[in-house]
A and B are shown apart, each in its own frame.
Chain A
Amino acid sequence: MAEQDVTFDAMGSHVRLLIGEPGPGMAPAAEAAERARAFVAEFDAALSRFKPESELCALNADERERVPASKLLRTAIAAGLHAAEISDGLVDPTLVGEIESAGYVASRAGMAGESLDVALRGAPPRRPAAPNPARNWERFAVNDDAGVVTRPPGVRFDTGGTGKGLAADLIAESLRGYSRFIVDCGGDIRIGGADALVHPYEVFVEHPLSGERAFVLKLGGGAVATSGLNVRIWREGDGGYAHHLLDPATGTPAWTGLIGATALGDTAVEAETLAKAALLSGPEDGRSVLADRGGMLVHDDGRVEGVGALAARPRIRIPQPSGTDG
């Protein structure tokens, strides 16, 4: 099965596209891949909190309460708010000051991080993360008719928590009609196309401690995403270790007893949100977070635990349709 296979760096990570045969009247796969690459560049330029010239940074610096925003920025903020809503505030997009205080001010792409194994030995006692009682994300509103975002000036937003998943979803929308395709934005993966149901893609799950491909999932559609502590660990001024997944209640890096979580979902934003929420919830509540859609948890000791649809060996999962009883 010949497919267009394109890989490039963007959003501080890698992006990979596999695109099959175009449907009638559709552009060749190579052209679709080129358009996707241009879109990712536009996405990154508009939504990076590390680029002062980005529209996101302009929004965060704007002193008005009601700020005109492009469709892309509005979509990204809506995705961040959706993630906060379905995680009940665990995946909080308003922790910009907190992540900067923790030491994550500039992009860490390409930087060698500290060892997770060593960091775990010096980490504080494990406990589940909790939502920030202030719930600042609820003070954001997106008005598509007026083309504006409203929020109290000074409350900053970070689209990074759902950015790669959203990029994968938006590119996937543009690839509808191709025989099968996969969009991989830094490990947040979206799959589509009728042929993928017949010939599923194989996606390896990386183990956060060993870095090895520990398992392989055969996926005929939907999305999968992984959240983990292993790629962005740094030393704080006091010698302690920090990472980029914050406990919203404390604003400090979360050490919950889990070092990785992989989640399935209908969309990459959903999968990414569930993976982060599961990791932040810790082992007990993490199982509940992943139970419906399915996923995998990696404990501090390296043990891998399948949850929901992935708890058992090869199977077909038929989710009940939501909102109907028939």
Chain B
Amino acid sequence: MAAVTEQTRTAHRPKPALVVWSSIVLFALLFALLTYQLNASQLPAPRPVLVRKVLKRRVVTTVVPTPGRNTVSSSGGSLAEASTPSYAPLTTGAS
């Protein structure tokens, strides 16, 4: 009985060459299908690259009233005091 079963199994086992070739054919088919899909799909048109030169100028401006004198009319509250620089005062005025 055991001998009969073994013979049956051997008879139903696929040949190695068939398995190999089937795998190759299946791979080729899938590869072809994917390649086709990739080519057939509508890729968006490449957008032109806009190159901009971005210039940012930073001007640091601080307004500080001379202690105990005026205030800027459009601002309220007390402002920081002027420091004591190492150089003699610079003044902008009519000339």
Contacts and interface: CB of A to CB of B under 8 A. Distances in A.
Given A218-B61, A218-B64, A319-B57, A203 B90 contact: yes
Nearest to B90: A203
Given A214-B66, A312-B74, A313-B77, A220 B59 contact: yes
B5 interface: no
A228 interface: yes
B65 to A, nearest CB: 5
Interface string A189-232: 10000000100111111111000111111111110111111111
Contacts of A307: 74
Interface in B51-92: 52-66, 69-70, 72-75, 77, 79-80, 82-83, 85-92
B93 interface: yes
Given A202-B90, A208-B94, A231-B94, A217 B61 contact: yes
Interface residues of A, number: 70
Given A5-B87, A218-B60, A313-B75, A206 B52 contact: no
Nearest to B71: A304
B74 A213 contact: no
Contacts of A164: 95
Contact of B94 (A187, A296, A317): A187
Interface of B: 52-66, 69-70, 72-75, 77, 79-80, 82-83, 85-95
Interface of A: 1, 3, 5, 12-14, 16, 18, 164, 182, 184, 186-189, 197, 200-208, 212-222, 224-232, 260, 262, 264, 266, 294, 296, 303-307, 309-319, 321, 324, 326
8 contacts: A5-B88, A13-B95, A188-B92, A216-B63, A220-B60, A226-B92, A316-B61, A317-B60
